[in-house]
A and B are shown apart, each in its own frame.
Chain A
Amino acid sequence: MKYGIKELKNEVQLWKEEMSEKFQYDPKVYMPDDSEIVWTFDTKEKLNQWVCTSDSDNKDGFSHCDLTLSKNKKGLFSGFLDCRVPKDGQIKESGYCNIRCLRARKSFKRDSFFDWQMFTHLILRIRGDGRSYMLNLTTTGYFDVMWHDIYNYILFTRGGPYWQVAKIPFSKFFLSSKGRIQDKQDPIPLDKITNIGITCAGKTPGPFQLEIDYIGVHFDGNHTEEFAYEMYNVPSFIVGV
């Protein structure tokens, strides 16, 4: 009962903030070269907004990972990637670790989306270990066939002691569903993003670490690319495309 009342108070507070923002009727319009930092990783409360999973959680392997606060008060996604396959006769490949943010939500536990339509790039200030990670932008759709739609792109890291700012255009993200890259590609719907995640997977077993300062979005006025992959119109008599 006490927990329920506390939750109710939190939700009512969230609702009040939502309504006051709604009735201000002043949506923020971003100008060229504007950025917005969506996630920082400087406190433990902010780290609690992310969920860390690995294949060992699903009994698919032996990797383990964790998202902690580093010495510099940045987020540290680290762990051990183990590519050994469990001997259950079903799994062929193994070895993945993932962090994913919690779904955007409104008051009273209603699901919401991140609306990044006014932005063109995803920016991350990171310090990696030279491995390539996979960025996942989940766009859970309304209908069940779209529930597992994820837009991916590779995050290349340098491994040096210097921080890097990775600026990746949204037009470069390609569609996959349940991990399989789709033949029929289309640009990412930037107003329907539900989660963002970073995956470490591959055939190189060993420890990994990725230090993250912030993840944000950027509007580049000169970026005119709509979609980096095939956009030409296929004649309608060619089926399946």
Chain B
Amino acid sequence: MLTLPIINLFSLPLILGTMITMSSSSWLMAWMGLEMNLMGFIPLISTHSNKRASEASLKYFLIQTIASSTFLFSFLLSSSFSIIQFTMMTPWMIPFMVILTLSVKLGAAPFHMWLPTVAEGLSWTNCLILMSWQKMAPLSIISMIFPKNPLIIIIATLSAISGSMGGLNQTSLRKILAFSSISHMAWMLSSMLISKMLWLFYIFIYSIIISSIILCFAPFNMLHINQVSTNQNKKLNSLITINLLSLGGLPPFLGFLPKWLIMFYLLQMNMFLMVSILIISTLINLYYYTRISYSSLLLINSNNKWMKTKTPPLTKQLPLSMISLFGLITSMLTFTLL
């Protein structure tokens, strides 16, 4: 159970850890920030008196510690390469190892299998932190050290394909969003080939959209597709649809803006195959997003007159959903006026 003292105590290392990593100038401080972030997140996800959450938190802890220790090992090797003459490690292997270990931490393909199972066991709030904030620190290390490594192209392509294909067979909402997060990881990694600021912009927009989606699902305890379809609240269904289409990168919603920028700059760099794979995977993602919401909007559901349930007002959901709806147009207008 997340009581306020626990949130106050452990959210501090969670936030500070990421900020230390993002502002560090040495390998050791970056690693330390990752560890601090992990130490802050683990108590937040394992405080529920629910064996499913404790199983998920244990799996998360094991995977992250293995990745962190391998990351520590790889950068220690890079610093000691000139000292230890008998090592077999050649310089090209060190960025290879660093990027792979950070991909494990991110949940990028081919190391993505833990993300849906862990996300399935967490509460919605912890899912949100896992999918947005926990990505910042490893991505910042990759962008600072090896932004234009060819391995990033391979990982981005694999993430796009596995994120889109994996989510097709899912009916659990958290797993769908986990696979969607893997797919978006592909876009973030490919944006690093362009510039260091673009991935930050992408993750910022992604965090807004995913927060608005989770704000729609969490208060109503929706965990499954058929719970969305049997929901009687028409306004909520509309908001869910808007946010999912925005997440899918469909214009005129906000989610289209970062994808548009990445596509534009990647095409200028003549990376046509990469763009094609990203677009096709996004299309597949859009299919399973619309599958969540179409049944609630289009199919007729019987409304029980004798069962009056009080639905809470949508005051929290509306502002973020309006940003999703009008964000693109507003930002384009602002840009043209400036």
Q: Which residues of A line the B interface, CB within 8 A?
A: 22, 25, 27, 29-32, 117-118, 141-143, 146, 149, 184, 186, 189, 191-192, 219, 221-222, 224, 226, 233-236, 241
Contact = CB atoms under 8 A, between A and B. Distances in A.
A235 B171 contact: no
B55 A29 contact: no
Q: Which 6 A-B pairs have the closest CB atoms?
A: A25-B168, A233-B1, A221-B230, A186-B50, A27-B171, A118-B226
Contact of B1 (A30, A31, A236): A236
B47 A118 contact: no
A117 B55 contact: no
B169 A27 contact: yes
Contacts of B224: 117-118
B295 interface: yes
Contacts of B58: 143
A32 B52 contact: no
A226 B230 CA distance: 16
Contact of A29 (B5, B52, B226, B307): B226
A219 B301 CA distance: 14
Given A118-B224, A149-B51, A219-B226, A29 B171 contact: yes
Contacts of A27: 169-171
30 contacts: A22-B169, A25-B168, A27-B171, A29-B171, A29-B229, A30-B226, A31-B299, A32-B230, A117-B172, A118-B171, A118-B224, A118-B225, A118-B226, A141-B51, A142-B59, A149-B51, A184-B49, A186-B49, A186-B50, A219-B226, A221-B301, A224-B309, A234-B1, A234-B49, A235-B3, A236-B1, A236-B3, A236-B6, A236-B47, A241-B49
Nearest to B221: A226
Given A118-B226, A236-B3, 5 more contacts: A25-B169, A27-B169, A29-B291, A29-B295, A192-B52
Contacts of A233: 1, 3
B26 interface: no
B55 A31 contact: no
B302 interface: yes
